[in-house]
Amino acid sequence: MRTAIYPGSFDPVTLGHLNIIRRASTIFDKVVVCCMVNSAKMGWFTLDERVDMLKRVTSRYINVTIDSSDILIGEYAKRFEGAVLLKGLRALSDFESEFSMAHINKKINSTLDTVFLTSDEKYTFLSSSAVKELARYEADLTHFVPREILDDVREKSKKMR
């Protein structure tokens, strides 16, 4: 049984993230999307809200589960035997930070490998930060976030103004 752990902030989940999750669900037996508590990133959504949105947009994928964690991902991964970490790569800029993270995670957990899926070209320039910036200007978000969470993002952006 091959499990992929896909960690991130998902603040909020975008169509870029969902594209990675969908493709991973056809490659791996099980995909665990792990919503991380990241003190360095000041988010819009609470952990519970991010987990809830992820659950709604992935409900059709039977081998995908949503979890959350406030511990190092290298430690978290120890509870899944033989699991790999999954990361999405948008551009060279992602590569540089992900490359060093992969090495750090390997130091924390010597059996933990990181695998990368390249972003679909439609979503190469898409990030959660870009979604929040667009939402602030009330832009149409239908090409950027799953339709199930459009209202959540719109509502939150009103509160953040």
- To the query of whether residue 41 is one of the catalytic residues in this protein, the response is yes
- To the query of whether residue 22 is one of the catalytic residues in this protein, the response is no
Closest CA to 98 of 7, 17, 37: 7
Phi/psi of residue 126, nearest 5 degrees: -100, 130
Q: How far is the CB of 18 from ligand ADP (least distance, A)?
A: 9
Query: Which tokens hold the place of 8?
Result: 């991130």
Phi/psi of residue 8, nearest 5 degrees: 180, 180
Which one, 121 or 151, has the nearer CB to ligand ADP?
121
CA dihedral 24, 27, 28, 34 (to 10 degrees): -10
Question: What span, in angstroms and rounded, lies between the C-alpha atoms of 138 and 102?
Answer: 37
Which one, 19 or 109, has the nearer CB to ligand ADP?
19
* Active-site residue (options: 9, 69, 119, 128): 128
Which one, 118 or 154, has the nearer CB to ligand ADP?
118
Pairing state between β 3-8 and 84-89: parallel
Q: How far is the CB of 55 from ligand ADP (least distance, A)?
A: 16
* Active-site residue (options: 25, 50, 69, 90): 90
Chain residues binding ligand ADP by CB under 6 A are 8-10, 14, 16-17, 20, 87-88, 90, 94, 119, 123, 126-129
Q: How far is the CB of 134 from ligand ADP (least distance, A)?
A: 13
The set of catalytic residues is 17, 41, 90, 128
